[in-house]
Amino acid sequence: MTSLAIVDHPKKAAAFVADIDRAHWHDQSLWYVRIKRDKQAASLPEWELLRETASQIKANVVANLADYLEQFANEATKLGAVVHWARDAAEHNAIVLNILQSRGAQKIVKSKSMLTEECHLNPYLERHGIEVIDTDLGERIVQLAKEPPSHIVLPCIHYKKEEIGELFHEHLGTDKGAKDPKYLAEAARQHLREKFCGADAGITGVNFAIAETGGFVVCTNEGNADLGVSLPKLHIACLGIEKLLPRAADLGVFLRLLARSATGQPITTYSSHFHGPLPGGELHIVLVDNGRTDIAANPDFRRSLNCIRCGACMNTCPIYRRSGGHSYEATVPGPIGSILAPARDSAKYATLPHACSLCGSCSDVCPVKIDIHQQLLTWRKEIAARKQLKWSKRLGMQLTGWVFQHPWLYSTLGKMARWTLPWMPRFMLYHGLNPWGKQRELPSAPPQSFRELYAQRQKQQANGGSVTPQPSPHSPPSVYSASSKVN
C-alpha cells in the first residue's frame, strides 16, 4: 500500500519499463480497450454533445453541491434509507464499523468502490476482526495478492492469466499450472458464491446518486453488487459527495458515456437502481467529503470533481500504459489521479503531475471534458510555488531562464556549445549525468545558428549577392548546401 515516503514515479516507472516485454504487453492490453472505446464513441453521432452535456451537468452539481446533497439526503431518508455524513476517511470508516458492530455483522461482501480504497476501509475493518471479501473478480484477485488495484476499472490489468492461475492455486486450490480463463473464473465464482451466501452485510460504492429521487445507481459487469446486497439484509453504500446528479433524466447521459469510455461496451452489464432498503432490510448511505469540498472551492481544480471514474484517461495515457498503475502509488492512478493525489498531499505526490508529457490525450478522451492535462500543468506551478519541486529542476530552470533573458549570452553559449560538441570525446558527452544520452544521440551541432545565417543572408542581399548558407565541417556538408534544395 502507500508508504509515507515521497512517491518517486520516474524510479518506479523505470523499473516497470525494465521488463520491456511486460511493459509492451501492458501497453497493448490497455490500447485494445482504448480502440474499443473509439469504436463505441464513433457509433454515437451525438458523442461530443453528450460529453458537453455531461460536463455542464457536473459543473452545475459542483457549483451547487450543498443544495443537491441536502435534497438527496431528504429524498433518500423518505425512501427509508439512513443517511450518514463523514467529513473524512476516519469518520467514514468509524461509521461503517459502528453500523456493522451494532448489528453483529462479521462477514462482509463488498463490490468495487474506489472510495473505500481511498479510505483504506478493508485494513481498518480487518483490524477490528471483520472479514471483508471484495466480490469484483479483479478486485478479489488483487486482494488475494495483497496488493492495491492498479487501475480503477480493471484492477488486475497488470496480471497475466498464468499469474492468476498461480494465485488461485495457492489460495483457492485450483490445479497447478491452470491458466484457462473459463476454468479460473468458474473457480472464483464458486469461491465467491460461498462468501455471498455466508455474508452478514453487503457494502457497495455508488456510481450516480440522484438528488431529485434519493435513489442511486451501482454499475457492475458481474452482478456482484446485486448479489452482495440482495442476500444479506444490511446494505451500506459509500458515496463520495461529487457523485450526485440533479435529476433522474440526467442519468441517461452518464450511463451512455460511462461504459463506452471505460471498457468500450455500449452499457455496463448491470446498472442497478436502489431506492430505499429491501423489505425487512436496512440501507445506510455514507456521504463522504474527505477533501472534496476543498477541491470544489478551488477554481483551478474544481473540474476534477466532474470525474465519473471511467478510467479512459488511464487507457489512453501513454505514460500510464507503459509505467503501470502501481508506479503512481495513489488510490486513483494515471492522469486524473495525478490531479487528485497532490490535492491530498502535494509534497508526497510532487512527481505525479510531472509523470506526463502534456500530450493532452486524456483531456480529449474524457467523457466529462475535464481539462486534465491543463490541471496537471497547474499542479506543476503549484508544486514549484510551494517549493516542492526537485531542487535540481528548479535551479536548472532558473539558470536557463536567466540565460534566455540575455540574448548575447544565449548566442555566445550556443556558439560555444555548437563549436565544442563535435570535438568532445563520447565519454564526455554520454555518461551517467546525461539522461538524454542514455538511449539517444544529441543533435549534431551545425557551425552556424539560424541567427548567424540570417545576418549573413541579410548582408549578402544588401550587397546584391546570392544566398547560400555555409557548409558545416562537423555535420554532412550537404545539409547546408544549395544543392540539397530542389528549387
Partner 1 sequence: MPRVGLFIPCYIDQFYPRVGLATLELLERQGLSVDFPPAQTCCGQPMANTGCTESAAPLAKKFVEIFSPYDYVVGPSGSCVAMVRHHYKDYFQGDPAYEAIKKKTFELCEFFVDVLGITSLPGNFPYQVGLHSSCHGQRELRLSSSSEVMSLPYNKARQLLAGMTGISFTQLERPDECCGFGGTFAVSEEAVSCMMGNDRLHDHLSHGTEVLTAGDMSCLMHLQGLLRRQKKPMHVMHVAEILAGYQPV
Region 407-466 residues binding partner 1, contact defined as CB under 8 A: 407, 410, 414, 417-418, 435-436, 438-446, 448-455
CB of 53 to partner 1, least distance (A): 14
Distances (CA, A) of 76 to 142, 215, 238, 440: 33, 6, 14, 60
Q: Angle at CA 90, nearest 5°, toward 88 and 94?
A: 120
Q: Which residue's CB is nearer to partner 1, number 127 or number 404?
A: 404
Interface region with partner 1, contact rule CB under 8 A, candidates 134-142, 218-226, 265-273, 353-361: 353-361
> Per CB under 8 A, does 66 bind partner 1?
no
> Per CB under 8 A, does 236 bind partner 1?
no
> Per CB under 8 A, does 364 bind partner 1?
yes
With CA atoms as reference, report the closest residue to 143 among 135, 30, 151.
Answer: 135
CB of 165 to partner 1, least distance (A): 28
Number of residues that bind partner 1 (CB under 8 A): 85
> Per CB under 8 A, does 63 bind partner 1?
no
Contacts of 445 (CB under 8 A, 6+ apart): 417, 418, 419, 421, 422, 474, 475
> Per CB under 8 A, does 383 bind partner 1?
yes
> Per CB under 8 A, does 368 bind partner 1?
no
The single residue among 318, 345, 429, 474 that binds partner 1, judged by CB under 8 A, is: 318
CB of 264 to partner 1, least distance (A): 13
> Per CB under 8 A, does 248 bind partner 1?
no
Interface region with partner 1, contact rule CB under 8 A, candidates 110-118, 158-166, 295-303, 472-480: 472-480
Interface region with partner 1, contact rule CB under 8 A, candidates 79-87, 150-158, 273-281, 354-362: 354-362
> Per CB under 8 A, does 393 bind partner 1?
yes
Q: Are 225 and 270 in contact (CB under 8 A)?
A: yes
> Within 13 A of 407's CA, how many CA atoms are on the CB side?
2
- What is the spatial distance between Cα 238 and Cα 100, in angstroms, rounded to a whole number? 14
The single residue among 98, 190, 398, 420 that binds partner 1, judged by CB under 8 A, is: 398
- What is the spatial distance between Cα 184 and Cα 187, in angstroms, rounded to a whole number? 5
CB of 299 to partner 1, least distance (A): 14
> Per CB under 8 A, does 27 bind partner 1?
yes
The single residue among 1, 10, 67, 459 that binds partner 1, judged by CB under 8 A, is: 10
Residue 451: how many other CB atoms lie within 10 Å: 12
Distances (CA, A) of 462 to 148, 451, 455, 459: 70, 16, 11, 5
Would you state the cell numbers that stand for residue 341, as one nine-digit string?
493525489
Three-class DSSP category at 141: helix
> Per CB under 8 A, does 347 bind partner 1?
no
Strand intervals (E) in 176-274: 201-204, 208-210, 216-220, 234-240, 244-245, 270-274
Strand intervals (E) in 289-365: none
> Per CB under 8 A, does 480 bind partner 1?
yes
- What is the spatial distance between Cα 477 and Cα 468, in angstroms, rounded to a whole number? 12
The single residue among 365, 368, 370, 372 that binds partner 1, judged by CB under 8 A, is: 365
> Per CB under 8 A, does 74 bind partner 1?
no
The single residue among 198, 223, 246, 360 that binds partner 1, judged by CB under 8 A, is: 360
The single residue among 29, 47, 345, 471 that binds partner 1, judged by CB under 8 A, is: 47
The single residue among 295, 355, 368, 370 that binds partner 1, judged by CB under 8 A, is: 355
Q: Are 468 and 482 in contact (CB under 8 A)?
A: yes
